[in-house]
Amino acid sequence: MKNIQFSATSAVSHQDLLSLMPQVRAAQQTLVQGSGEGNDYIGWLTLPDDIQCQIQDIQATAALLRERCEIIVCIGIGGSYLGAKAVNEALLPFFGAYHQQQPAIIYAGQNISEDYLYELQQLLTHHSFGIICISKSGTTTEPALAFRLLKSQLEQQIGESAARERIVCITDAQRGALRTLATQQGYKTFVIEDNVGGRFSVLSPVGLLPIACAGLDIQALVDGAREMKNLCYNQNVEEHPAAQYAAARTILYRSGKTVELLANFHPKMHYISEWWKQLFGESEGKGHHGIFPASVDFTTDLHSMGQYIQDGERILMETVLSIEQPNHSVIFPHDEQNLDGLNFLSGKRVDEVNKMAELGTMLAHVDGGVPNMKITLPQLNEFYLGELIYMMEYACGLSGYMLGINPFNQPGVEAYKRNMFALLNKPGYEAESAAIQARLKK
């Protein structure tokens, strides 16, 4: 069977890759032996095996929600939302709303936009809906706000007792406001283990329940992740794609390429990039170090960002997520008049044009001083996304340790929260409120 492949194309030489391997090996030892900083957050390493005993429960819960709801609202932010959104967007049909796909999966708690919440509430007024509320801490402002609004709306629409049958909470086993509420109300719950951080939680119930609710095959997703785990654990570092990728991007970073663009040629991959940006950005951006993760959707963005990539500051490296076989076939038709001059493409698959755009872009970017790496998925399905997810997580752990930072904490994300609470006069923030008001008056 095929697996995901990594190739450094012309970005780095084979010799450079080999030279870095002792460092990759050391980072791998630190990671799998749990001897590095952040070692209390490496539960994700064995999730593909550990989660197996919960798959049935997750599937059964999803089946109940699917039966009862026209719309399932997944409430969460950051690591408690992006993994599920990424997999669902990648695998569900485009234009789902027009196919009246049931149930529709909608997201909330990932912003504080009043208009977003208003329009969502309006929509839900006309539908039977359920809620999955996901928050590891159980105290994050954005999801807590959305949950309070939607829980109360659901209770008004169908009554408190029926609402209890349509609310599922995924949170800490013991701590946090969400756990307390779920226990009080008797909601169905799943646990986010202490040793799994938000951005590494997609293969836990955090990601798997919303993905199962979308009707996707979570067993295949986990099987793919387990396959990649086995490669990472059993192959030499020179051979497994996670280590190869971590090595190549580290070499490029050390040579001055401080921004990594994750590029796709399939719009369904957009949110995979969003998930990847959080994974690497929150893991590596520390102590004024780290590759800045950015993303582009091609060929769309070649018509907007293409100029900069080709010819702007030479700080970019690029990783192309390539899909070998599309899931459908469309043949380009012949036209008698040929006014658009495209008859040279007649009879070809649209993907052949896309693939040549991909190759042409990669060559042009290399010529322009943007080294390319390529990750090839044989097909876009649950299994290969499972492989990709695990590969990226593992590469992220290796890259972080090679960078000399703790890849599993995120101290920087507290700064905005402190200011926001101070500005909103949250009880307990009196000193911060006074200080920030004085600062604003200056």
The binding site for ligand PA5 (CB under 6 A) comprises 77-80, 135-137, 140, 143, 197-199, 282, 410
CB of 383 to ligand PA5, least distance (A): 25
Coil, helix or strand at residue 260: strand
Query: Which residues are registered as beta bridge partners of 320?
Result: 263, 374
CB of 85 to ligand PA5, least distance (A): 13
Q: Identify the CA nearest to 364 among candidates 4, 9, 3.
A: 9
Handedness of CA 53, 381, 202, 224 (dihedral sign): positive
CB of 253 to ligand PA5, least distance (A): 22
Q: Identify the CA nearest to 319 among candidates 379, 250, 237, 268.
A: 250
Residues ≥6 apart with Cβ < 8 Å to 332 = 342, 345, 346, 347, 348, 349, 350, 353
Nearer Cβ to ligand PA5 (30/140):
140
CA–chain centroid gap for 413, Å, is: 17
How far apart are alpha carbons 428 and 432 in whole angstroms?
9
Nearer Cβ to ligand PA5 (77/252):
77
**Catalytic residue check, 382:** no
Q: Identify the CA nearest to 370 among candidates 439, 431, 298.
A: 298
How far apart are alpha carbons 73 and 103 in whole angstroms?
10
CB of 67 to ligand PA5, least distance (A): 27
How far apart are alpha carbons 36 and 405 in whole angstroms?
9
Coil, helix or strand at residue 414: helix
β 316-325/372-379 pair status: parallel
Nearer Cβ to ligand PA5 (24/74):
74
Q: Which of 89, 142, 282, 358 is catalytic?
A: 282
CB of 372 to ligand PA5, least distance (A): 28
How far apart are alpha carbons 127 and 314 in whole angstroms?
51
CB of 198 to ligand PA5, least distance (A): 2
Contact, 328 vs 266, CB < 8 A? no
CB of 413 to ligand PA5, least distance (A): 6
Nearer Cβ to ligand PA5 (103/198):
198
Q: Which of 303, 328, 441, 442 is catalytic?
A: 303
How far apart are alpha carbons 356 and 4 in whole angstroms?
20
Nearer Cβ to ligand PA5 (30/80):
80
Query: Which residues are registered as beta bridge partners of 319?
Result: 262, 373
Q: Which of 2, 99, 334, 417 is catalytic?
A: 417
**Catalytic residue check, 374:** no
Nearer Cβ to ligand PA5 (48/407):
407
Nearer Cβ to ligand PA5 (211/251):
211
Coil, helix or strand at residue 335: coil
**Catalytic residue check, 260:** no
How far apart are alpha carbons 218 and 211 in whole angstroms?
7
Kindly list the catalytic residues: 282, 303, 417
